[in-house]
């Protein structure tokens, strides 16, 4: 049952140590690799993020995750319901084309509004049999396994979700003819693709990346362990807290300077706000220095999951920055652009869209005594706005459990560093 929480903070300081869950992005890739490896790959430090838990349970159960209330006529088919787990939807769409069964893959109502057509078209060109059960280009979809590969060469646009590209790369080595993936135009979220290829390489899968073509031959996985790093996306909220606090002394365990995760770029982004990252003692120590924010343009194309965090920080600090690279935000858990505009408006801040550029206008900003933040079923909305409790006396967050998608211990961890968290 959903409930709201009320955040308060008596002082504007933040001190303490935090142990972050494993990276959802890394874990979901690792779980698919493990499932495809026929027992050769084992995943360590599986994330307790809800998306990873969902994907792991489906893979371990051999896709049996039926939902009698779905209303779909499946007869003898397996019905796999991934709920709101977007990564699982994309990865499993590709994964099930290799399995020897027929499944219907569905999800939450919001998931049925998130497009899957680009990935389905690519898989169909390879030879997969996939049909739409309700609306063209959207889940639920019916997948017949045992792909009869027609070609190994496909083209996909680079400015769409990197999860489509990753889904294809993850299954490439198991395809009868391998895969030659041509990326059309500029590649969005490149670090996520690089993460996928690096993890495949750890598991013995070689690739070639020449210009805009990634090639993976048919080959076998090797015996290996894939350890999952702590989540840099989750770390970003602690950087936000450090940026909005008058003083901060925070230590995040387990994070390393050289990470596969693209969101580790938060260390560079937050240097603009006076937050220095000191890697020592098996983690990162966040040190705050008094520093005016001078950077005016933030290109978040390669780290869109950090967008809400950075935009809210800028708004809170009256920094009228411009943002680019936000193209994929409208098809996430919610339309994150519209959600940001709505919630920032509650303290008089405007996020103005001009083509593919977004600018903050803080000219009418005010600090209310109390603010209510709608989360739109989006974990990142809840966590990006939570640090405002350092500036606003009372911050009520709608539907507290939404953070379970990526960071279940978030509210508990806030309490450990001096935030008061009250159920409403």
Domain ranges of the chain: 5-22+230-423, 24-227
Structure-model confidence comparison of residues 189 and 385, the more confident one = 385
Tens of pLDDT along 282-332? 999 999 988 889 999 999 988 999 999 999 999 999 999 999 999 888 877
Which pLDDT band holds residue 263 (cuts at 50, 70, 90)?
A: very high
State residue 327's pLDDT score: 85
Instruction: For residue 283, say if its preceding peptide bond is cis, omega within 30 degrees of 0.
Output: no
Which pLDDT band holds residue 25 (cuts at 50, 70, 90)?
A: very high
Tell me how far apart the alpha carbons of residues 392 and 399 are, in angstroms, rounded to a whole number.
19
Tens of pLDDT along 132-181? 999 999 999 999 999 999 899 999 999 888 999 999 999 999 999 999 99
Residue 61 neighbours by CB under 8 Å, 6+ apart? none
Tens of pLDDT along 389-424? 999 999 999 999 999 999 999 999 999 999 999 998
Please say if the pLDDT value at position 72 is more than 50.
no
Tell me the β-bridge partners of 103.
78, 143
State residue 290's pLDDT score: 85
Domain 5-22+230-423: homologous superfamily in CATH = Enolpyruvate transferase domain (3.65.10.10)
Tell me the β-bridge partners of 252.
18, 284
State residue 320's pLDDT score: 96
Local structure of residue 378 (DSSP, 8 states):
-
The two tokens of residue 268 are 């560079």
246 annotated active-site: no
State residue 291's pLDDT score: 86
> Are the folds of 5-22+230-423 and 24-227 the same?
yes
> Which of these is catalytic: 51, 231, 263, 305?
305
State residue 1's pLDDT score: 57
Please say if the pLDDT value at position 73 is more than 50.
no
Helix/strand/coil for 372: strand
Tell me how far apart the alpha carbons of residues 33 and 106 are, in angstroms, rounded to a whole number.
22
State residue 69's pLDDT score: 34
Question: What does the CA dihedral 196, 276, 240, 337 come to, rounded to 10 degrees?
Answer: -50
Rounded (5°) CA angle 68-82-220: 125
State residue 161's pLDDT score: 84
Share of the chain above pLDDT 90, in %: 86
Please say if the pLDDT value at position 65 is more than 50.
no
Which pLDDT band holds residue 193 (cuts at 50, 70, 90)?
A: very high
Q: Quote the mean pLDDT of the chain.
A: 93
Please say if the pLDDT value at position 267 is more than 60.
yes
Tell me how far apart the alpha carbons of residues 8 and 418 are, in angstroms, rounded to a whole number.
9
Closest CA to 111 of 92, 139, 91: 139
Rg (C-alpha) for the chain, rounded Å, is 22
Q: Taking the CB of residue 253, how many other CB atoms lie within 10 A of it?
A: 13
Closest CA to 322 of 296, 343, 353: 296
Contact status, residue 303 vs residue 262, Cβ threshold 8 Å: yes
Tens of pLDDT along 201-218? 999 999 999 999 999 999
State residue 189's pLDDT score: 82
The domain 24-227 is placed in CATH, from the list 3.65.10.10, 3.40.50.1390, 3.40.50.970, 2.60.120.10, at: 3.65.10.10
């Amino acid at each position: 049952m959903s409930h709201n929480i009320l955040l308060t903070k008596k002082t504007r300081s933040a001190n303490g140590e935090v142990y972050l869950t494993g990276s959802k992005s890394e874990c979901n890739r690792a779980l698919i690799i493990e499932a495809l490896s026929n027992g050769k790959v084992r995943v360590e430090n599986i994330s307790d993020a809800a998306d990873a838990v969902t994907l792991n349970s489906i893979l371990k159960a051999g896709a049996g995750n039926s939902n009698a209330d779905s209303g779909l006529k499946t007869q003898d088919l397996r019905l796999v319901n991934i709920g709101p787990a977007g990564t699982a939807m994309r990865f499993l769409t590709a994964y099930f084309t290799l399995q020897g069964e027929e499944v219907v893959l569905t999800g939450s109502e919001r998931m049925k509004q998130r497009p899957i057509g680009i990935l389905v078209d690519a898989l169909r060109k390879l030879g997969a049999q996939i049909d739409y059960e309700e609306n063209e280009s959207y889940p639920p979809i019916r997948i017949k396994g045992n792909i009869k590969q027609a070609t190994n060469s496909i083209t996909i646009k680079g400015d769409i979700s990197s999860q489509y590209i990753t889904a294809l790369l993850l299954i490439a080595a198991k395809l009868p003819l391998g895969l030659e993936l041509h990326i059309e135009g500029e590649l969005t979220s490149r670090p996520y693709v690089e993460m996928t290829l690096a993890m495949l390489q750890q598991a013995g899968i070689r690739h070639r990346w020449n210009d805009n073509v990634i090639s993976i031959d048919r080959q076998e996985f090797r015996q290996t362990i894939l350890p999952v790093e702590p989540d840099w996306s989750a770390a970003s909220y602690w950087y936000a807290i450090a940026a909005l606090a008058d003083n901060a002394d925070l230590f995040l365990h387990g994070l390393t300077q050289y990470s596969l995760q693209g969101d580790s770029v938060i260390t560079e982004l937050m240097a603009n706000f006076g937050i220095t990252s000191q890697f020592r003692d098996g983690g990162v120590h966040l040190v705050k220095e008094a520093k005016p924010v001078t950077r005016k343009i933030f290109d978040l194309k390669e780290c869109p999951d950090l967008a809400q965090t950075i935009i809210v920080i800028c708004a809170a600090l009256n920094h009228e920055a411009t943002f680019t690279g936000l193209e994929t935000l409208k098809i996430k858990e919610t339309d994150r652009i519209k959600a940001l505009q709505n919630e920032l408006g509650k303290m008089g801040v405007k996020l103005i869209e001009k083509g593919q550029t977004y600018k903050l206008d803080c000219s009418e900003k005010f600090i209310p005594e109390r603010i209510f933040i709608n989360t739109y079923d989006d974990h990142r909305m809840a966590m990006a706005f939570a640090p405002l409790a350092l500036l606003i006396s009372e911050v009520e967050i709608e539907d507290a459990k939404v953070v379970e998608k990526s960071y279940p211990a978030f509210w508990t961890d806030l309490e450990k560093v001096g935030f008061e968290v009250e159920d409403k």
